[in-house]
Amino acid sequence: MVARAYTVAFQGVEARIVEVQCAVTAGLPSFSIVGLPNKAVSEARDRVRMALNAMAIALPSKRITVNLSPADLPKEGSHFDLPIALALLAALKILPDDVTQGIVALGELSLDGSLIPVIGALPAAMAAAAANRSLLCPAASGAEAAWVGNAQVIAAASLGDVVRHYTGQAPLAAAEPGEVTACFSGRDLQEVKGQERAKRALEIAAAGRHHLMLVGSPGSGKSMLAARLPGILPILTPSEALETSMIHSLAGLLDEGGISRSRPFREPHHTASMAAIIGGGRNAKPGEVSLAHNGVLFMDEFPEFPRSVLETLRQPIETGEVMVARANAHVKYPCKFMLVAAANPCKCGFLADPSRACARVPNCGEDYMSRISGPLLDRFDLRVDVPPVAFTDLDLPASGDTTAQVAARVSAARQLQSQRYADHPQMAANADAQGAMLEEITTLDTEARALLRRAAERFQLSARGYHRVMRVARTIADLDSSDSVQRPHVAEAISFRLATNLSA
């Protein structure tokens, strides 16, 4: 007799159902696992043996064979412990075979039989729901998995609890979802003295999910501005929160049972490797671009990142997804993020201040910014110079709009965009619009179109740059609650394309 249980194998954010088959037959005593398991899966036989021994269940002196199907799909991770134990218990007639076939299980076993939480409970629950099966997972993972409303989730603390539940001795209650949080830093935009133009760029970028570059000398407030960005972004929609949490679940970054409605804000160090930024490693884990999905990727000291890392950003910025290729798998992750880059204008940082600049001015500025290629620079919708704040301004009391006031305007603009793209699920913000859709939503009046054409000719805008100006102008019009894009909207969008420390 072949007993069966089910689990999942992860490929990117997708969890694929894996059938765990177990046969106990006559022959020399052995315990083998086949079906392309990795080292962690192969070691499951020892953890399962000791966990059953802790329950006073001795394995028979027979040949035990476990097959993980499909056999051509790589199996990685310690979460295979629990489904292997369930299939074995069914083969030994301790659990009914029809029970183990109706669940998708994942969890690591300790030697005393307790269940240790593993990554990926959320995508596993979605796969179980799609297969019309319930999910069995460790108790610590139950609150996370229970967020998938159409999946029944049973969370157990030990293998013994699992056996008692499915034999009717001590049934377990269905897991309840954890808390929803929307944590903000508490940093107010009003605290930033001066920099009104940069604050305006921040608002436009947040309203349309546009990529933003801040260029200024050290201490001018670039990082301070970027840190206030999460506070003015709208909270994640339920579907966005689930999608974002799936990626964070695979990376092991979710708090126990909690799902956040705050948009991710990732800020990798400039020494980060390509695998850390794009994704990769032995198990093709998601990188910073995917962890920033539906949120913000802030890259401070942008030119200091390795050139190879910067150039790999070009494709994710355009497509909103990244393919991580490894010898045994090609894994695709979503990565629709808003890129905010901060840079000094030159290596010494004081290009605009002759009294403090190095002897190589202005050549040092050209050399330093040349680390950013033209095609990559062309992908920034907004480029802003952030000049040093005068000491007289630092002594003034806080002024300007608060984070709450700016967030309200951003939310209203995003609401307009949500209605505009209601029939286009692949689009969520103006930054996503392209082609015929961009022409349709950007209704320019005669003066606005004439201005845009003159600017394109004078500043030699590329086709990509031309369309990005149109998207930004559409966002500015949304902030003004204007149905049409007018000349002032286009003029402001063009002005943000022409930072003095950067080429057009």
Query: Tell me, what amino acid is at 491?
Result: A
Asked if the structure places residue 183 within a domain, the reply is no
CA–centroid distance for 237 within its chain: 14
143 and 283 fall within a common domain: no
Give me the mean pLDDT over the 235-256 stretch: 88
Asked if the structure places residue 265 within a domain, the reply is yes
The C-alpha atoms of residue 184 and residue 165 are separated, in whole angstroms, by 41
312 and 270 fall within a common domain: yes
Asked if the structure places residue 350 within a domain, the reply is yes
CB 85 within 8 A of CB 158: no
242 and 373 fall within a common domain: yes
Q: Which of 350-354, 380-384, 424-428, 495-499 has the lowest mean pLDDT?
A: 350-354
Question: Closest Cα to residue 119, out of 130, 136, 107, 111?
Answer: 107
Beta bridge partners of 297: 266, 339
The C-alpha atoms of residue 303 and residue 369 are separated, in whole angstroms, by 7
- Residue 79 sits in a domain whose CATH number is 3.30.230.10
101 and 250 fall within a common domain: no
Give me the mean pLDDT over the 323-346 stretch: 88
Asked if the structure places residue 174 within a domain, the reply is no
Q: Among residues of the chain, what percentage have pLDDT more than 90?
A: 70
Q: Which of 110-124, 215-229, 294-308 has the lowest mean pLDDT?
A: 215-229
3-state class (DSSP) for residue 259: strand
160 and 206 fall within a common domain: no
CB 298 within 8 A of CB 265: yes
Domain that holds residue 437: 189-495
pLDDT confidence tier of residue 384, bands split at 50, 70 and 90:
very high
Instruction: List Cα–Cα distances, 72 to 81, 328, 369, in angstroms.
Output: 19, 10, 47
CA dihedral 463, 468, 474, 480 (to 10 degrees): -140
- Residue 461 sits in a domain whose CATH number is 3.40.50.300
CB 229 within 8 A of CB 202: yes
Higher pLDDT, 443 or 454: 454
With 90 as the cut, is the pLDDT of residue 282 above it? no
With 90 as the cut, is the pLDDT of residue 126 above it? yes
The C-alpha atoms of residue 172 and residue 160 are separated, in whole angstroms, by 12
Q: Looking at residue 103, what is its pLDDT? A: 96
The C-alpha atoms of residue 329 and residue 378 are separated, in whole angstroms, by 32
- Domains of the chain: total: 2
Asked if the structure places residue 171 within a domain, the reply is no
105 and 195 fall within a common domain: no
Asked if the structure places residue 462 within a domain, the reply is yes
With 50 as the cut, is the pLDDT of residue 405 above it? yes
296 and 368 fall within a common domain: yes
Question: Closest Cα to residue 299, out of 337, 252, 347, 245?
Answer: 337
With 70 as the cut, is the pLDDT of residue 199 above it? yes
Q: Looking at residue 184, what is its pLDDT? A: 63
Give me the mean pLDDT over the 19-24 stretch: 98
Quick: pLDDT tens for 173-189: 999 987 777 666 668 89
Asked if the structure places residue 417 within a domain, the reply is yes
Give me the mean pLDDT over the 316-335 stretch: 86
Question: Closest Cα to residue 231, out of 258, 197, 253, 199?
Answer: 199
With 50 as the cut, is the pLDDT of residue 481 above it? yes
208 and 141 fall within a common domain: no
With 80 as the cut, is the pLDDT of residue 326 above it? no
Give me 388's structure tokens: 């040093």
The C-alpha atoms of residue 485 and residue 181 are separated, in whole angstroms, by 37
151 and 262 fall within a common domain: no
Asked if the structure places residue 178 within a domain, the reply is no
The C-alpha atoms of residue 143 and residue 177 are separated, in whole angstroms, by 4
Q: Looking at residue 347, what is its pLDDT? A: 82
With 90 as the cut, is the pLDDT of residue 502 above it? no
The C-alpha atoms of residue 413 and residue 492 are separated, in whole angstroms, by 17
With 50 as the cut, is the pLDDT of residue 503 above it? no
Give me 402's structure tokens: 């608060």
126 and 246 fall within a common domain: no
Quick: pLDDT tens for 394-403: 777 777 899 9
Q: Looking at residue 354, what is its pLDDT? A: 64
CA dihedral 420, 422, 428, 433 (to 10 degrees): -50
Higher pLDDT, 260 or 267: 267
With 70 as the cut, is the pLDDT of residue 504 above it? no
Task: Give 455-477 as a 3 state SS string.
Answer: HHHHCCCCHHHHHHHHHHHHHHH
119 and 212 fall within a common domain: no
245 and 98 fall within a common domain: no
